[in-house]
Structure 1
Amino acid sequence: MKSIKPGRGPSAMGAMGSIIAVIFGIFWTIAAASMGAPFFFPLFGVLFIIMGIVQAVYNFKNATGEHRFSEFDIVDGAEEPDPLERRFHSEGPESSAYRFCPYCGARLGAEFEFCGKCGRRLPDDQ
């Protein structure tokens, strides 16, 4: 089964963009402080640096992690497991009595052909 998987490329680009934002924030802070601007101008640069560091760490971990999250790559289930599979499809004794709509996530009986919540036709492979 194909599923949406995290994109290493977009996450790596996000990490690089965040590093550029941190560099911009450093220059902004230095320039604003050296010009004697009001306190909120350098503060804006510091805020930019903090946000850039947080985003760079998140995107770098997303680009290099085993179970990444993104909406860009579509891979085969055998290649990489779906991180949401563990949450929504338990392997308990009652798991065969119901299934979930892939469009809206509604819990449905195993015999349903259409979703009772969104009305869309359910795929036959579930």
Structure 2
Amino acid sequence: MTSIKPGRAPSFLGGIGSAFAVIFGIFWTAMAFSITRHSPFGGVSIIFPLFGILFIIMGVVNAVYNFRQATQKNRYSVLDITDSETEPDPLNERFGPIIEGHVFETHQGDVEFEAHDDGTRDNRRPRFCPYCGDDLGEDFRFCPSCGKRLPE
């Protein structure tokens, strides 16, 4: 499995933005309490300040996450690239491997081939690496680019 992780600078900038959101939430809450204090509608004096409190809570949680992401050695993954043997795709299992005539890999690792408009299938092996996408020769058993064994 390959992980894609965010950079430290965007995470740090997200933490700074979250700190500004907390400051805005405090300002909003104070202003909303003072403006709606003498409101003739009972719920207004509670609802508008709650938006500020919600802003503060979301800002604190987001700031903790982003500053931790910016400073810790092992960061959280934003995106994990997996193959079907490591983690099968639940949508592929539910709706089937072929959607609109493209090549897909089934959860057992079998390669399904492109379907044509008349309902027939082209059973020739695709000539690209399913792992890195590099072009392959007809008799290759291993990818010359990434070195992984090609499915039989």
Q: TM-score, normalised by structure 1?
A: 0.60
Alignment-derived partner of residue 69 in structure 2: 62
Alignment-derived partner of residue 31 in structure 1: 31
| SS at 1:107 equivalent | coil
Alignment-derived partner of residue 75 in structure 1: none
Amino acid in structure 2 at the alignment position of 1:116: E
The answer to which of 27-36 and 63-72 deviates more is: 63-72
Q: TM-score, normalised by structure 2?
A: 0.50
Which ranges of structure 1 fall in alignment gaps of 5 or more residues?
73-83, 85-101, 109-113
1 CA distance for matches of 2:10 and 2:50? 29
**1:115, CA displacement in angstroms?**
6.7
Contact 2:3 2:77 survives alignment (8 Å): no
Work out which of the residue numbers 87, 104, 107 in structure 1 matches 2:85: 107
Contact 1:15 1:56 survives alignment (8 Å): yes
Q: Which of 1 and 2 has higher RCO (CA within 8 Å, sep 6+)?
A: 1
Q: Segments of 4+ in structure 1 off by > 6 A?
A: none
Give identity over the alignment, percent.
47
More helix by share: 1
Alignment-derived partner of residue 87 in structure 1: none
Alignment-derived partner of residue 99 in structure 2: none
Pick the structure with greater CA Rg: 2
Aligned length: 91
Contact 1:19 1:56 survives alignment (8 Å): yes
- Aligned pairs for 1:1-126 (under 5 A) are 4-35=4-35, 36=37, 38=44, 39-69=46-76, 71=78, 102=81, 105-107=83-85, 116-117=105-106, 121-123=130-132, 124=143, 125-126=147-148
1 CA distance for matches of 2:65 and 2:78? 15
Cα distance 1:6–1:48, how it changes in 2: closer, same or farther (>3 A)? Answer: same
